Amino acid sequence: MVLKSAFQVRTDLAAGPLAQGRPALRLWRRLALAAMLLAPWPALAQSPGHVSDSVPAGSSSLRPGDFILVRIWREPDLSDTVDVDNQGIAVFPKLGAMSVTGINPDSLERLLVHEYSRYLQNPSIRVTVLRRITIWGAVAHPGTYPVGLTMTITDALALAGGPTSDGKSNQVELRRGAMRKVIDLSSDAASVSDLSLHSGDQLVVPRRSWISRNPGVLIGGIGTITSVLYLIAR
């Protein structure tokens, strides 16, 4: 799948996440776009049509802080990775600024087909939405990562190298402002869209308790205490 190709590129760059600076972000964009353009292109049957900006906001709808990967068949100069700014505005090549807050990926595809039809003949366009999620805590490579809507939380944690030996592998905490929510990963993990993750959300992997991380010390201490009590009782 195209999305997997883009994320494979991002995983290879895990040692330098987006948070490290604009040069790393520009490099990731170029590599992600190259992976998309090299991937097989399935036939897309799309017809131009006007789409209202007032689409109800659902779990897959665009929000400020999101990335939009736009892929236009045989148009590499128009294919790009576009940011959604704090006002919900995205700037597309040749089209300029457009308000995209609340629009889902399918509706945005139809809107872009309609708009680019002024310049291209029967354009074929694919849109992929990525959330900008910060992953930290007991993980190998904490940082900010672009996360696809179809990815599970476990997949998202893998972008950060997964939990460390001190981290809990079956639990993660979702933080959004003052809100805290513990997510159980022991069963099948829900996808990013199922949990309605927003760009700017944080996924925090908690550390295991001191006892669970140091069972040998605990057992040795119990053994020592038992020996002392035995000697005293004699």
Domain extents for the chain?
2-130, 133-213
Helices (H), the chain: 2-12, 22-38, 105-116, 153-159, 210-213, 215-233
The CATH code belonging to domain 2-130 is 3.30.1950.10
Could you list the pLDDT tens digit for every one of the 234 residues in the chain?
A: 343 434 443 444 344 444 444 454 454 455 444 444 444 443 333 333 333 333 334 578 999 999 999 999 999 999 999 999 999 999 999 999 999 999 999 999 999 999 999 999 999 999 999 999 999 999 999 999 999 998 989 999 999 999 999 999 899 999 999 999 999 888 766 777 788 889 999 999 999 875 665 556 556 656 677 766 666 776
Is the pTM higher than 0.75? no
**Domain 133-213 class in CATH:** alpha beta
Residues 6+ positions from 28 with CB-CB distance below 8 Å? 9, 10, 13, 18, 146
Give the pLDDT of residue 221.
Answer: 58
CA–CA separation, 87 and 74 (whole Å): 31
